[in-house]
Amino acid sequence: MVNFLIFGPPGSGKGTQSVRLAEKFNLAHLSTGDMLRAEIAAGTELGKRMSSIMSKGELVPDEVVIEMIAARIDGTKGKDGFLFDGFPRTVDQTVALEKMLNKRKMKIDSMLVLDVDHDELVKRLIGRAELSGRPDDKDPAVIENRIDVYKEKTEPIIEYCRKKGIYKPINGMGSIEDIFVRLSDYMKKFL
Ligand code: AP5
């Protein structure tokens, strides 16, 4: 099993690229954002509690997403590895993920970080707002808050992973196809 983190600020293309990469390399695509939105859509108690946090662009509590991921890791069969999208988002989540994987004789093999200019992030998210119906895409102030939260709480994971020798920056500017080729060319060395 080979395990990747796909990493980057909101709008950097993590979700778009993950779907294609998971298919190409037979990876299980685990997106905590998608899991949380599914809880909201299903009207569960958890979804109701998380919805207002997400619509402000804040992070939900670590224990909520750690539990979701643990359940998915154990429930996955027939894949060649995992592609974690939007998880981990704090150093504590990263440590929890490492423990989960180590317990199952696995590790994080590589962290792929999509580098995208601030203005391009905002442009992509505002562009998506109409189609996605996501409350966190609608308000430019919430978009800016999501980017600030990323810088403050999520970006420190880069330094943590750099020290472990698994950090790989990828140019996230350009067409979806060009970025897919950049990511695939790097990932295929592991598979
Ligand atoms: P999450 O769902 O993870 O959202 P996000 O990180 O804000 O990321 P996005 O989905 O907005 O962007 P993306 O990088 O996936 O880009 P995408 O491919 O969609 O999290 C949402 C919320 O859930 C969080 O704010 C938090 O509240 C909560 N949450 C989730 N995980 C959590 C965790 N682990 N801990 C705590 N809280 C958590 O692309 C964006 C748009 O750009 C699309 O329209 C796409 O078509 C377009 N696009 C993509 N690539 C290109 C390109 N190359 N050129 C032009 N357009 C492009």
**For residue 128, which atom of ligand 1 is closest to its CA?**
44
- Look at the chain and report how many structural domains it folds into: 1
pLDDT of residue 130: 85
Asked if the structure places residue 64 within a domain, the reply is no
13 CA → ligand 1 middle, Å: 7
Which residue range is the domain that position 99 belongs to?
2-30+81-190
Q: Is residue 87 part of a domain?
A: yes
Whether ligand 1 lies within 6 angstroms of the CB of 10 is answered as yes
C-beta of residue 47 within 8 angstroms of C-beta of residue 39: yes
Q: Does residue 119 lie within any of the structural domains?
A: yes
In angstroms, the Cα distances linking 5 to 20, 42, 47, 48, 180 are: 15, 27, 24, 28, 15
- Kindly report each contact of residues 172-176 with a partner whose C-beta sits within 8 Å and lies 24 or more positions away, as own/partner: 172/8, 172/12, 172/13, 172/114, 172/115, 172/116, 173/115, 173/116, 173/117, 173/120, 176/13, 176/16, 176/17
At 115-135, the pLDDT tens digits run 999 999 999 999 999 888 899
Evaluate whether residue 50 is within a structural domain. no
Closest atom, ligand 1, to C-alpha of 33? 2
Question: 47 CB less than 6 Å from ligand 1?
Answer: no
Q: Is 179 in the pocket of ligand 1 (CB under 6 A)?
A: yes
In this structure, is residue 74 part of a structural domain? no
Would you state the structure tokens that stand for residue 186, as one six-digit string? 């790097």
In a domain, residue 73? The reply is no
Beta partners for 82? 3, 28
pLDDT (tens digit per residue) in 48-80: 999 999 999 999 999 999 999 999 999 999 999
In terms of Cβ atoms closer than 10 Å to its own Cβ (0-12, 13-18, 19+), residue 168 is middle
pTM value is 0.98
pLDDT tens profile 81-118: 999 999 999 999 999 999 999 999 999 999 999 999 99
Ligand 1 centroid from CA 150, angstroms: 11
> Which residue, among 81, 70, 76, 105, has the nearest Cα to 1 in the 3D structure?
81
Identify the pLDDT of residue 137.
96
Please indicate, yes or no, if residue 57 is contained in any of the structural domains: no
Ligand 1 atom closest to Cα of residue 93: 34
Q: Would the CB of 138 count as within 6 Å of ligand 1?
A: no
Is the bond preceding 88 in cis, omega lying within 30 degrees of 0?
yes
Instruction: State which of 19, 20, 36, 151 you would mutate to test the pocket of ligand 1, scoring each by most atoms of that ligand within 8 A of its C-beta.
Output: 36
Q: Is residue 120 part of a domain?
A: yes
CATH number of 127's domain: 3.40.50.300
Any ligand 1 atom below 6 A from CB of 176: yes
Instruction: Let me know how many helices (H) and strands (E) the chain has, helices first.
Output: 10, 5
